């Protein structure tokens, strides 16, 4: 399961980025856009950091 979870997190980040673009184009409230963008960044950072070599590797 070493490569599956970071892949899923990065896929989730991509879907959330698409959601941010869609929300922005539809004129959604700023808070909704920023919250979705923050979740996208969190998922992308988590997926990227998970791939870095660490002590357990």
Q: What is the DSSP string of the chain?
A: -TTHHHHHHHHHHHHHHHHHHHHHHHT--HHHHHHHHHHHHHHHHHHHHHHS--TT-
Residue 23 lies in a domain: yes
Residue 32 lies in a domain: yes
Chain segment 15-50, per-residue pLDDT in tens? 999 999 999 999 999 999 999 999 999 999 999 999
Residue 39 lies in a domain: yes
Residue 27 lies in a domain: yes
Distance CA 52, CA 19 (A): 27
Task: Tell me the whole-structure pTM to 2 decimals.
Answer: 0.86
Nearest to 12 by CA among 50, 42, 35: 42
Q: What is the mean pLDDT of residues 11-15?
A: 97
């Amino acid at each position: 399961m070493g490569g599956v979870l970071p892949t899923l997190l990065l896929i989730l980040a991509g879907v959330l980025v698409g959601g941010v673009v869609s929300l922005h184009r539809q004129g959604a409230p700023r808070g909704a856009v920023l919250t979705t963008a923050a979740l996208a960044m969190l998922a992308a950072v988590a997926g990227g950091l998970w791939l870095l070599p660490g002590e357990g590797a």
